[in-house]
């Protein structure tokens, strides 16, 4: 027989039935409570006490709870762990007859959580995905800023995943007939992709029916989960990937564009280097620019023009920077207004941010530059908002909006009257007490207050005979030594005093919502202003880093020439001690677009290659570049294969990962792309790796013909320069001084004479016995030389010309010093040398 639960628990179970995929946070007074399996799960994940509740059942119901005023941190943790959370609030006032009405007011998911701190400079995107015959269509939205965009992607799952990972999507909404599964991304089924006429304005920029359907799916899901109108959503922007330089996720990681490879933190990345922004909006926009560099030269030049203006006008730039420091995250604040979760302190931040806009506009116009004037004129007058906020909101308002203390005196007459009653209540009571003493002649008469009985007049029993009927005293409570009375006048004042505070709080909240609704009409104007501020902030940031580090404006060419004088790796230069970075020239022309780079490990080959890629990227972002001169092409794509890390989770070896990433470049690169390959082939046997490396270089040089940087330890491949394929040898130089290896960090023309591997091993302080033996083996192998015995089709090892290798090996062996295992190892080596004859 089904146990009978209390009415409240039946209400909970009814709501839970409709939200089985969510943890239900059920508001009871000052707590959000969870019951049954939700309580067991949450108590473990949040590490809070699991208790029980008598709810009419035979056994106690499992229960746990969190205070409602500090619930956001708990909700954030649950959402971070991949859960959906349904927030159930009390919809009717407690104390009335019957059970309090309750309902779901919001479903919080990984893609829809609001960051409460306003210090997070990252976007939080939720995506919707639909699959069509020839492409995927994605819609993205950050409800904390109102940004909304759509894009079409070729039907390639790798490209799809790359787009989702690039935008750090935490949740993907899919039609239930086609659920996509992604690691670390929540898939949410939802089946309403019907166009919503009420939101026609945000669709005004897109005409593609696939994009409209996918954006509608996302919009309807957001409306369904947020349980409110989303008036702050911005007009949907189409992202056309053909307008931007293409990079896959591996390339972005290898080049450390937004995070470093060591611990995925911002420090040490290009984003870290360039981010001198002073606003959250500017920081987010800069990150977007870094992830999507331009390929249209006119657009790039426009950005560079503005950066150059800010670079030249140091004083005005410094003034702009100082003004920007006073501007809060207007994009997120304006979204909070429309979303209905803004507080009075947020309004003060909006006011203080808008107050500095006239000064910002004046500084920009003082530059008297058309491109800057265009930006300045978009900073429209919003003084009516600041005036209202300053008139209405106290200087240091509380965070809560339903407990009063947020509206200034003299803003509302009714509120002033209620405050007068509250503030003068004690004074009135003191006068009333003295008046009653004079009237009765009872000097010990007291006026007091009790939470149960309210205000009263207390008279000791010794003085009761002095109470007369004409005093109109009504007995209220009897004590052992006194009686308490009330009069009509005291009762009336009691009603005013007790209701004044409650009325004040309610009236302040009404006034606050009226102010919020007034500002809400200008939400989209605020968002537009925020976007302009973000752009100004990015421009001054790029100008500041360019000016402080002596970067130069790049010149672009159509001749596939990459010429840089005194080129530097901007990030490493900043991390290293001042003045210690060694700059390098780069000279790549259309006749020799492939550089084959040799030289020792740690000699600077990888830095040199990354430096070239970052100079190209910085230029296409619209930033000056770290060098003395730069004449460079505009790349359409950048491909890299740098580093060797096994993908053990999916069972892929270093070599397999290497081949997959290299394949991506070989298949999709055009003559306007940039390819960076570091040590291709080292993940397999020497001759296999050498053969694959040679085949790749030849294919790139003859079929793709794009600018390529190919570093290798296969010195044998340097003969390819002689084959007139457009391949040029360069090397990272080093020298031996007093038997020690010295890195020069200079990239010079020609091939490296040796790889200095044993010398690097010496730097690593390997045991002398190991180093000595390595030197012996190296000499033996060098005498049994395979260099320059490479043909187009085969790689053959040259035969030894004599027994000198084996003899030399034997001369260096002390049989009495060998352990049994060393003797066996030596015998194996001798056999190999003999077989190679």
Binding site residue list = 599-606
Structure tokens at 697: 């270089």
**Are 728 and 596 in contact, with CB atoms under 8 Å apart?**
yes
**What are the C-alpha distances in Å from 575 to residues 191, 258, 361?**
51, 16, 36
Asked whether 281 and 195 are in contact (CB, 8 A), the reply is no
Distances (CA, A) of 369 to 157, 375, 807: 46, 10, 80
The answer to whether 77 and 45 have CB atoms below 8 angstroms apart is yes
Interstrand relation of 446-450 and 454-460 (parallel, antiparallel or unpaired): antiparallel
What single string gives the DSSP state of each residue in 184-219?
A: TBEEEE-------GGGGGGGTT---HHHHHHHHHHH
Return the structure tokens found at 809. 């090996």
Burial class of residue 594 (count of CB atoms within 10 Å of its CB; 0-12, 13-18, 19+): buried
Three-state DSSP at 380 gives: coil
Can you name the residues that pair with 727 across neighbouring β-strands? 594
Structure tokens belonging to residue 117:
């701190």
Nearest residue to 245 (alpha-carbon basis) of 608, 572, 669, 703: 669
Cα 496 from chain centroid (whole Å): 52
Q: Exposed/middle/buried for 659, CB within 10 Å: 0-12, 13-18, 19+?
A: buried
- In 3D space, the residue among 116, 119, 138, 136 whose CA is nearest the CA of residue 128 turns out to be 138
Report DSSP letters for 434-445, one per residue.
Answer: HHHHHHH--TT-
Q: Using CA atoms, how far apart are residues 251 and 470, in angstroms rounded to an integer?
A: 95
Give the phi and the psi of residue 345 in degrees, each rounded to 5: -65, -35
**Residue 207: which of 238, 184, 181 has the closest Cα?**
238
Could you count the other beta carbons within 10 Å of the beta carbon of residue 463?
16
Other C-beta atoms closer than 10 Å to the C-beta of 465 total 7
| Coil, strand or helix at 647 | strand
Lookup result for tokens 């909700």: 75
In 3D, which of 590, 588, 601, 583 has the Cα closest to residue 711?
601
Count the Cβ atoms, other than its own, within 10 Å of residue 100. Answer: 16
What does each C-alpha distance from 312 to 305, 547, 548, 552, 724 come to in angstroms? Answer: 11, 8, 12, 12, 46
The two tokens of residue 792 are 């187009």
Give me the sign of the Cα torsion angle 630, 632, 634, 638. negative
Q: Is 332 helix (H, G, I), strand (E, B) or coil?
A: helix
DSSP secondary structure code for residue 407 in this structure: B
Q: How many helices (DSSP H) and strands (DSSP E) are in the chain?
A: 26, 26
Distance CA 156, CA 158 (A): 5
- Residue at token pair 């009336």: 492
* Ordered DSSP codes for 617-630: HHHHHT--BSSSEE
Q: Is-contact 700 583, C-beta < 8 A? A: no
Q: Which residues are annotated as a binding site for ATP?
A: 599-606
CA–CA separation, 385 and 515 (whole Å): 9
Give DSSP secondary structure letters for 70-119.
Answer: GHHHHHHHHHHTT--EEEEEE-S-TTSSSPPPEEEEEEE-TTTPPPSSS-
Q: How many CB atoms lie within 10 A of CB 209?
A: 11
């Amino acid at each position: 027989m089904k146990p009978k639960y209390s009415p409240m628990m039946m209400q909970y179970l009814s709501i839970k039935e409709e939200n089985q995929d969510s943890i239900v946070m059920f508001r009871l007074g000052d707590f959000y409570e969870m019951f049954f399996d939700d309580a067991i799960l949450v108590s473990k994940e949040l590490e809070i006490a699991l208790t029980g509740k008598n709810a009419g059942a035979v056994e106690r119901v499992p229960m746990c709870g969190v205070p409602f005023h500090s619930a956001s941190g708990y909700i954030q943790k649950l959402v971070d762990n991949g859960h959906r959370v349904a927030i159930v609030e009390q919809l009717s006032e407690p104390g009335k007859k019957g059970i309090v009405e309750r309902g779901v007011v919001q479903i919080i998911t990984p893609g829809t959580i609001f960051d409460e701190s306003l210090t997070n400079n990252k976007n939080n995107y939720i995506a919707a995905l639909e699959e069509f015959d020839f492409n995927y269509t994605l819609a993205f939205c950050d409800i904390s800023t109102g940004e909304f965009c759509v894009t079409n992607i070729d039907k390639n799952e790798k490209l799809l995943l790359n787009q989702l990972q690039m935008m750090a999507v935490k949740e993907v909404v899919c039609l239930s007939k086609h659920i996509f599964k992604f690691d670390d991304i929540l898939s949410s089924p939802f089946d309403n992709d019907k166009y919503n006429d009420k939101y026609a304005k945000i669709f005004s920029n897109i005409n593609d029916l696939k994009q409209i359907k996918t954006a509608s799916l996302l919009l309807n899901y957001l409306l369904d989960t947020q349980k409110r109108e989303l008036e702050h959503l911005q007009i949907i922007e189409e992202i056309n990937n053909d307008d931007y330089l293409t990079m896959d996720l591996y390339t972005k990681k290898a080049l450390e564009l937004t995070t470093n490879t060591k611990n995925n933190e911002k420090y040490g990345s290009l984003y870290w280097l360039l981010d001198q922004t002073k606003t959250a909006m500017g920081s987010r926009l800069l990150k977007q620019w870094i992830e999507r560099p331009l390929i249209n030269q006119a657009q790039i030049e426009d950005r560079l023009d503005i950066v150059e203006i800010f670079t030249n006008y140091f004083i005005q730039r410094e003034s702009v920077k100082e003004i920007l420091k006073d501007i809060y995250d207007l994009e997120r604040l304006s979204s909070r207004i429309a979303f209905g979760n803004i507080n009075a302190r947020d309004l003060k931040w909006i006011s203080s941010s808008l107050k500095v806009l006239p000064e910002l506009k004046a500084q920009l116009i003082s530059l008297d530059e058309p491109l800057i004037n265009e930006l300045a004129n978009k900073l429209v007058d919003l003084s009516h908002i600041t005036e209202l906020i300053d008139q209405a909101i106290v200087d240091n308002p509380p965070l809560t909006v339903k407990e009063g203390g947020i509206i200034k005196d003299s803003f509302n007459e009714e509120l002033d009257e209620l405050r007068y009653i509250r503030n003068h209540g004690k004074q009135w009571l003191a006068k009333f007490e003295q008046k009653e003493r004079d009237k009765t002649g009872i000097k010990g008469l007291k006026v007091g207050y009790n939470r149960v009985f309210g205000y009263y007049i207390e008279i000791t029993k010794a003085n009761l005979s002095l109470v007369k009927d004409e005093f109109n005293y009504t007995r209220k409570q009897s004590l052992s030594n006194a009686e308490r009375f009330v009069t009509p006048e005291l009762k009336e004042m009691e009603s005013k005093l007790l209701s004044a505070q409650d009325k004040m709080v309610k009236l302040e909240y009404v006034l606050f919502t009226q102010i919020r609704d007034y500002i809400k009409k200008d939400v989209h104007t605020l968002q537009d202003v925020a976007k302009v501020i973000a752009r100004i902030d990015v421009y001054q940031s790029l100008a500041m880093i360019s000016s402080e580090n002596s970067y130069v404006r790049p010149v672009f060419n159509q001749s596939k020439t990459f010429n840089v004088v005194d080129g530097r790796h901007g990030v490493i230069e900043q991390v290293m001690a001042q003045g210690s970075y060694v700059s390098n020239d780069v000279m790549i022309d259309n006749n020799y677009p492939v550089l084959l780079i040799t030289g020792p490990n740690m000699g600077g080959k990888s830095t040199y290659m990354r430096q070239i890629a970052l100079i190209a990227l910085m230029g296409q972002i619209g930033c000056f570049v770290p060098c003395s001169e730069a004449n460079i092409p505009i790349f359409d794509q950048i491909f890299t294969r740098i580093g060797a890390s096994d993908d053990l989770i999916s069972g892929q070896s270093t070599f397999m990962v290497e081949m997959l990433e290299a394949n991506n470049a070989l298949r999709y690169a055009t003559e306007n792309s940039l390819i960076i390959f570091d040590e291709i082939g080292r993940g397999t046997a020497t001759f296999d790796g050498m053969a694959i490396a040679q085949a790749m270089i030849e294919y790139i040089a003859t079929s793709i013909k794009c600018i390529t940087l190919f570093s290798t330890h296969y010195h044998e491949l340097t003969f390819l320069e002689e084959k007139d394929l457009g391949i040029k040898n360069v090397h990272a130089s080093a020298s031996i001084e007093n038997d020690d290896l010295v890195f020069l960090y200079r990239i010079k023309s020609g091939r490296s004479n040796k790889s200095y591997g044993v010398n690097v091993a010496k730097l690593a302080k390997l045991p002398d016995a190991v180093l000595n033996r390595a030197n012996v083996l190296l000499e033996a192998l060098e005498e049994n030389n395979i260099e320059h015995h490479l043909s187009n089709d085969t790689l053959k090892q040259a035969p030894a010309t004599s027994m000198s290798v084996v003899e030399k090996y034997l001369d260096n062996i002390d049989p009495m010093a060998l352990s049994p295992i060393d003797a066996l190892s030596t015998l194996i080596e001798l056999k190999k040398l003999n077989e190679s004859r």
